[in-house]
Amino acid sequence: KSILVLNGPNLNLLGTRDPKVYGKVTLAEIEKDCILRGKALGYQVECRQSNHEGQLVDWIHEAKGKFAAIVMNAGAYTHTSIALMDAITSVELPVAEVHLSNIHKRETFRHLSYLSKVSVGMICGFGAIGYQLALEALADHLAA
Ligand code: DQA
């Protein structure tokens, strides 16, 4: 039983990037916590990050048959990428969308999420713990 945790563009810079908005925690710390939380929930967690839209599309395709679900913070591609939305629809895997910041409190161009149209649900505004909440929500969804 495995869950894939995918992070998109600029999230490799967490810790130093705009800490007032995104906090001080690094992606390495988030990924370590996801692996631990996954284990506690009975899932093996694999974490990947890319700044490239096509790479994320490829990883979503490859996830079919290999992972039970995906936790995804697509970064700015959330607001632009019909390709990522279509990839998720194509593989029919449950996706939990995560954002560190509350995207609805920010600029209007961040209010639209293409991913929300195909994800089971979305957690935003709670910072790094959102990833762990998403894992818990997916484990519950998968058990239902
Ligand atoms: C983000 C929100 C996006 O609008 C932004 O482009 C990001 C990070 C978040 O985690 O709050 O890169 O997905």
For position 114, what pLDDT does the model report? Answer: 98
- Largest Cα–Cα distance of the chain, in whole Å? 39
pLDDT band of 17, cuts 50, 70, 90: confident
Query: What residue has token string 């560190």?
Result: 100
CA of 110 to the centre of ligand 1 (A): 8
Q: Please report where in the chains the tokens 């209010």 appear, as a residue.
A: 111
Report how far residue 29's alpha carbon sits from residue 90's, in angstroms, rounded to the nearest whole number: 31
Nearest CA owner, ligand 1 atom 12: 75
Instruction: Say how many Å lie between the CA of residue 101 and the centre of ligand 1.
Output: 7
Whether this prediction's pTM lies above 0.80 is answered by yes
The 10s digit of each residue's pLDDT in 29-78 is: 999 999 999 999 999 999 999 999 999 999 999 999 999 999 999 999 99
- Which residues form ligand 1's pocket by a CB distance below 6 Å? 10, 73, 75-76, 78, 99-101, 103, 110
128, 135 contact by CB (below 8 A)? no
Q: Domain-by-domain residue ranges, the chain?
A: 2-143
Q: Which of 22, 43, 77, 131 is catalytic?
A: 22
Instruction: Look up 104 and say whether it is catalytic.
Output: no
Cβ atoms of 81 and 6 closer than 8 Å = no
What average pLDDT score do residues 13-21 get?
Answer: 90
So what's the pLDDT on residue 23?
A: 87
Q: Of these residues, 52, 61, 77, 99, which one is catalytic?
A: 99
Q: How far apart are CA 94 and CA 85, in angstroms?
A: 12
Q: What ipTM does the predicted assembly reach?
A: 0.99
Q: What is the mean pLDDT of the chain?
A: 97
Task: Reply yes or no on whether 22 is catalytic.
Answer: yes
How many Å lie between the centroid of ligand 1 and the Cα of residue 140? 25
14 and 25 Cβ atoms separated by less than 8 Å: yes
Structure tokens at 11: 């999230």
**Residue 27 identity:** L
The answer to whether 28 touches 92, Cβ cutoff 8 Å, is no
- Which pLDDT value is given to residue 55? 98
Query: For domain 2-143, which CATH number applies: 3.90.1310.10, 3.30.56.10, 3.40.50.9100, 1.10.8.60?
Result: 3.40.50.9100
Share of the chain above pLDDT 70, in %: 100
